[in-house]
Amino acid sequence: MPEGDSIFRAARTLHRALAGKVVTRFESVLPALTRIDEDAPLAGRTVDEVSAAGKHLLMRFSGDLVLRTHMRMNGSWHIYRPGERWQRSASDMRIVVATGDFVAVAFNVPVAEFLTARTLARHPDLRQLGPDLLGTAFDVENATRRIRERARDAIADVILNQRVMAGAGNVYKSEVLFLCRINPFAPVASLTDTQVAEVVETARSLLAANVGNAATGGIVTYVGMRRTTRRADPAERLWVYGRAGLPCRECGTLITRRAQGPDARLTYWCPRCQP
C-alpha cells in the first residue's frame, strides 16, 4: 500500500502539472464518476488544486467539485504528455483527467468519488483522520494525546492507525520503532512520555526526508527508493523492514518478522536493539 510520502509526492506532481489548467477531457470506467460527468461535465472546468490528506488524494475543480481517490494496495496516478504511451495497460485505467499540456491517469484505483466542499467536510474517513505527518500545521500535542488514548494497544498498531496519525504505513512502522529502540509489541501504556514524543518526531522526520524538496518546481514523480538509513548503497536503504533473517545493521542479531494486528501486517524488528 502506498504510504503517506508516496501520496504526498503524487499530489504535488499532479498539482504542478494540472493546477490552473482547463480540463479538456475526462474519462472513467467507474459508473459513479461518469454519472456526475454526464450531469455536470468536467471538461471546461479548471483544476484548482491537488493535495494529499494522509493517504487520500484530493483533486479540486472549479464549480465546487472534488475528486477523492485512495490507492489502497495497488492504485497509482501517472502523468503523461498528450500522445505519450502509457506505462500500464489500458485495461488498468480507472480515471483520465486531461489538459492541453498533460494527461493524468489513475490506474487500478479502487476508491474514487466526487464530493462537494460540504460533503468533503463531513466525509467520515477524512473527518476521523489524525494529524497529517506531512501537514504544515501538524499538531504534536494532538498526536501525542491520540497515542496515549490507546494505552492497551501495541505501539506498532497505533502507528498504523490513521485516526491517530495520518500517513505512516507498514514500512515506516517498523523503521520508526527500530530507530526509537522500542519493541513493536509493547503496549502504549508501557512507554514513557519521552518515547512517545520520539515516535512522533521520528515518524515526521522520516516521511519528510522521503518526499524530496518541495521548493523545486519541476514535475518530479520519483525521488529514489524510500530510505531511512541515509546510506548511499540501495541495498542498505532500510534498517529492518523486509530483512527477516538478516543481521541487524547495528548489532548483528538476526532480524525477526511476525504478523501483527487485525490485518496481520508484517512487523520487522531486532530482538536485541528492541527488547
Summarised one tens digit per residue, pLDDT across range 182-207 is 999 999 999 999 999 999 999 999 99
Question: What whole-number distance in Å separates Cα of residue 269 and Cα of residue 154?
Answer: 14
Mean pLDDT value across residues 5-16: 92
Mean pLDDT value across residues 20-28: 98
pLDDT band, residue 226 (cuts 50/70/90): confident
Domain 4-127 indexed as CATH 3.30.1490.20: no
Q: Which of 219, 220, 197 is nearest to 210 (CA)?
A: 220
pLDDT band, residue 217 (cuts 50/70/90): very low
pLDDT, position 220:
45
Residue 245 pLDDT > 90, yes or no?
yes
Grid cell 480515471 is found at 95
Residue 221 pLDDT > 80, yes or no?
no
CB-CB contact of 20 with 46 (8 Å): yes
Q: Is residue 143 helix, strand or coil?
A: helix
pLDDT band, residue 180 (cuts 50/70/90): very high
Question: What whole-number distance in Å separates Cα of residue 215 and Cα of residue 206?
Answer: 18
Task: List the catalytic residues.
Answer: 2-3, 55
pLDDT band, residue 227 (cuts 50/70/90): confident
Residue 219 pLDDT > 60, yes or no?
no
Which DSSP string corresponds to 15-74? HHHHTTPBP-EEEES-HHHHHHHHHS-STT-BEEEEEEETTEEEEEETTTEEEEEE-TTT
Mean residue pLDDT of the chain comes to: 92
Mean pLDDT value across residues 133-139: 91
pLDDT, position 191:
98
CB-CB contact of 157 with 170 (8 Å): no
Architecture of the CATH domain 140-269: Orthogonal Bundle (1.10)
What is this structure's pTM?
0.84
Query: Cα–Cα distances in Å, from 196 out to 167, 261, 271?
Result: 17, 19, 20
Break the chain into its structural domains and give their ranges: 4-127, 140-269
pLDDT band, residue 2 (cuts 50/70/90): confident
Question: What whole-number distance in Å separates Cα of residue 66 and Cα of residue 51?
Answer: 11
